[in-house]
Structure 1
Amino acid sequence: MKSTRSFTFLICSIMVLIFLYYSSGRLHLRSPVQKSQADLDRLLSAGRVVASGRGLPITLLLSLVHRPLELQYKYGNLSKGECKPGYAEAKMTSIYPKFSKPAPMFLDPNFKRLSNISSYLPPFGVRTQENIIDHILQATKRYSLGSELDSISCKKCIIIGNGGILFNKSLGSQIDQYDVVVRLNEAPVAGFEKDVGSKTTMRITYPEGAIQKPERYEKSSLFVLSAFKLVDFKWLRLMVFKEKLRSMEGFWKSVARVVPREPEDIRILNPYFIQEAAFKFIGLPHNNGFMGRGNIPTLGTVAITMALHNCDEVAVAGFGYDMNTPHAPLHYYEKLMMSAIKESWTHNISKEKEFLQKLVKVGVIQDLTNGI
């Protein structure tokens, strides 16, 4: 009987807290939510007092209750398909409370101010590469998406993976409706427009993954380097200044010898996204900040991390490998089968998949091909 009264008291207390919070006037149907962290902390502190001695995770319960309602009130009046300002950030902070949106997409001449990358070597930072990066940035002269995209107050972005799951899905027209379309490495567009669309805002790659045939490059997209090794910056400098690559030393396979883009169309991805994805989100081994076994996120997850900081809504397509179907196509553009995948020395695919599944489950990202 005593336990029943305690439980009833607890439930009543929770309901009172929720009622007081949502009747306080902080949420309005027709205006964005402006709730400070201090307000939330006070509410959660009150919850801890109520739950004291009863062993229930009241703070977790309250956070699960208030967040969906908050988002419902904030975005409930928007038309279907209308961009939701700050949506990805709001969702991310519900599972990663310390997530902070401000993180520049590309390095600019003031990159040395970014303390979180200054003390790490590539791929997690820029240490020892400052001079060569300065040289590259002096030539490129541009460090953003461009004035047209920069002026959009609410951006919808999509990351296109290279998975065979994209084949025959006819998502091309839907993909092209996004403000920012990100493609990875050498995945082709020509001939596959029905499934993958024809729009490319940027192509993120590294030397070994870059398109090697100049005629296959899009004529109006950004070429974005995601550097994983010291030699990657040296390679980019040669590409920017149209100089000849004389040695393949330091690369693990053949690399592009020419990037047919003008310097103003070339960017360097902020390495913080590699660092954050690896150590904060996926939980890969730190290895004293050096590249090691199983502590490098895939380029797809790096691109998603970048988008979470710079876009209001984030979607993906072409992600996910189903190892239970060994004869399924590995990539949408070739006949290589799923069975060709071998254990990766640098990536931890299973842990990375858990992270991406969490993002989809909570609604941080939308998976158009349902492969994650």
Structure 2
Amino acid sequence: HAGSNHMLPSPPWLSQGMSLDTLPPELAYKYGNLSEGVCKPGYAAAKMTTIYPKFMKPAPMFLDRNFKRLAKVSNYLPPFGFKTQERIIDSILTATKNYGLGEELDSLSCKRCIIVGNGGILANKSLGSRIDEYDVVVRLNEAPVSGYGRDVGTKTTIRITYPEGAIQKPENYEKDSLFVFSAFKPLDFKWLRQMVFKEKLRGTEGFWKSVAHYVPREPSEMRILNPYFIQEAAFQFIGLPFNNGLMGKGNIPTLGTVAITMALHNCDEVAVAGFGYDMSMPHAPLHYYETVKMSAIKESWTHNISKEKEFLRKLVKANVITDLTNGI
């Protein structure tokens, strides 16, 4: 309208739902000067701080040989820490010898990460090529890539899983990706040790479904996810019951939210795709790779899906993360 032509145009990437208004002025200035599509260093953490003022970025993605110094997790049992598991973790880390994403990614000054959830909402959106543009593509559990590339992309940087969620057929693993292990109970570390040292799987009572007997990865391609992300997601972000720091009814975050939490600490920009359960559509497919319907998920004992949804909505609304499938 008349009189507005003297205003400076806003940077083109603002139109994608990003907002500068809640950032400190010096950051708004810094990002405002970057051209469209350029990675914005520290963006996710800066935005996160606007809704969680106590958010502190430093939190290593994976455990390394100094893991016992991680104060926030050393006093909790799995899943919120590693207490009682120090010796077994030490032996695993001695074998893996690698504790980062790899030279190329670790040296990037600005990383864009995408967490690809397993939701049916990914089907027929042809987002594959957009997903593959990210520096770090995170996939969860047994979600397949082969045969679904058009919709989910073909690149996998890391696949985060726990024993019951791991791909069971060795031939279904992609060529190169890091096998990232997330522990939810003490027994899980025993399983991991057997996978790392390629031992015969023993002691499978205690898993809630069948688990892989073999992981086609060299020890150097295996990592242990920092359990801090489970703890922080549960207690700081979602607000699940603390239960004296023990696993209890409804206080375990889903792996997807744990992965997002990890990315907020270790990436400069964070996107997600394939997230969000839509209970108003009981016949919609739950996952993009199988025919199980949405109605199959019952209110689970471990997770609090509605509280979690609230947290993820908050992240999207505040532009901390970008949701490519708009399911959150």
Q: Structure 2-normalised TM-score? A: 0.93
The alignment partner of 1:358 has SS state of helix
Separation (CA, whole Å) in 2 of partners of 1:311 and 1:225: 19
Separation (CA, whole Å) in 1 of partners of 2:251 and 2:26: 36
- For 1:224, the aligned partner's letter is V
State the structure with more CA Rg.
Answer: 1
Q: Which residue does the alignment assign to 2:147?
A: 191
Separation (CA, whole Å) in 1 of partners of 2:84 and 2:25: 48
Q: Shift in Å at residue 67 of structure 1?
A: 2.6
More divergent stretch after superposition (78-87 vs 178-187): 78-87
Q: Which residue does the alignment assign to 2:6?
A: none
Q: Shift in Å at residue 74 of structure 1?
A: 1.8
The alignment partner of 1:67 has SS state of coil
Work out whether 1:355 is the aligned partner of 2:311: yes
Separation (CA, whole Å) in 2 of partners of 1:102 and 1:122: 21
Separation (CA, whole Å) in 2 of partners of 1:343 and 1:108: 36
Separation (CA, whole Å) in 1 of partners of 2:54 and 2:81: 20
Separation (CA, whole Å) in 1 of partners of 2:203 and 2:57: 40
207, 216, 224: which is aligned to 2:180?
224
Separation (CA, whole Å) in 1 of partners of 2:296 and 2:52: 35
Q: Shift in Å at residue 246 of structure 1?
A: 2.4
Work out whether 1:112 is the aligned partner of 2:99: no
Summarize deviations over 1:203-233 as a string: whole Å, max 9, x none: 0000000000000111210000000000000
Q: Shift in Å at residue 66 of structure 1?
A: 6.0
Work out whether 1:241 is the aligned partner of 2:211: no
RMSD: 1.1
Summarize deviations over 1:317-364 as a string: whole Å, max 9, x none: 000010000110100001111111111000000000000000000000
The alignment partner of 1:133 has SS state of helix
304, 318, 328: which is aligned to 2:274?
318
Q: Which residue does the alignment assign to 2:134?
A: 178
Q: 5+ unaligned residues in a row in structure 1: which ranges? A: 1-63
Q: 5+ unaligned residues in a row in structure 2: which ranges? A: 1-19
Separation (CA, whole Å) in 1 of partners of 2:237 and 2:263: 14
Q: How many residues align?
A: 309
The alignment partner of 1:323 has SS state of coil
Q: Shift in Å at residue 154 of structure 1?
A: 0.1
Q: Which residue does the alignment assign to 1:145?
A: 101
Q: Which residue does the alignment assign to 1:328?
A: 284
Q: Counterparts in 2 of 1:194-343, with a 5 A limit? A: 194-343=150-299
- For 1:86, the aligned partner's letter is G
- For 1:179, the aligned partner's letter is D
Q: Shift in Å at residue 89 of structure 1?
A: 0.7
Q: Which residue does the alignment assign to 1:20?
A: none
107, 112, 116: which is aligned to 1:156?
112
Separation (CA, whole Å) in 1 of partners of 2:164 and 2:105: 29
Distance verdict in 2 for CA 1:349–1:66, change over 3 Å: closer
The alignment partner of 1:106 has SS state of coil
Indicate conservation of the 8 Å contact 2:118/2:140, yes or no.
yes
Q: Which residue does the alignment assign to 2:321?
A: 365
Separation (CA, whole Å) in 2 of partners of 1:173 and 1:66: 31
Identity of aligned residues (%): 80
Distance verdict in 2 for CA 1:125–1:327, change over 3 Å: same
Separation (CA, whole Å) in 2 of partners of 1:371 and 1:73: 31
121, 129, 143: which is aligned to 1:165?
121
Separation (CA, whole Å) in 1 of partners of 2:127 and 2:114: 12
Q: Which residue does the alignment assign to 2:44?
A: 88
Structure possessing the higher relative contact order (Cα contacts under 8 Å, 6 or more residues apart): 2
Separation (CA, whole Å) in 2 of partners of 1:148 and 1:217: 22
Separation (CA, whole Å) in 2 of partners of 1:70 and 1:354: 30
Separation (CA, whole Å) in 2 of partners of 1:66 and 1:190: 41
Separation (CA, whole Å) in 2 of partners of 1:216 and 1:96: 39
Q: Which residue does the alignment assign to 2:301?
A: 345
Q: Shift in Å at residue 78 of structure 1?
A: 1.1
The alignment partner of 1:159 has SS state of strand
The alignment partner of 2:113 has SS state of strand
More divergent stretch after superposition (134-143 vs 64-73): 64-73
Q: Shift in Å at residue 114 of structure 1?
A: 0.3
- For 2:98, the aligned partner's letter is R
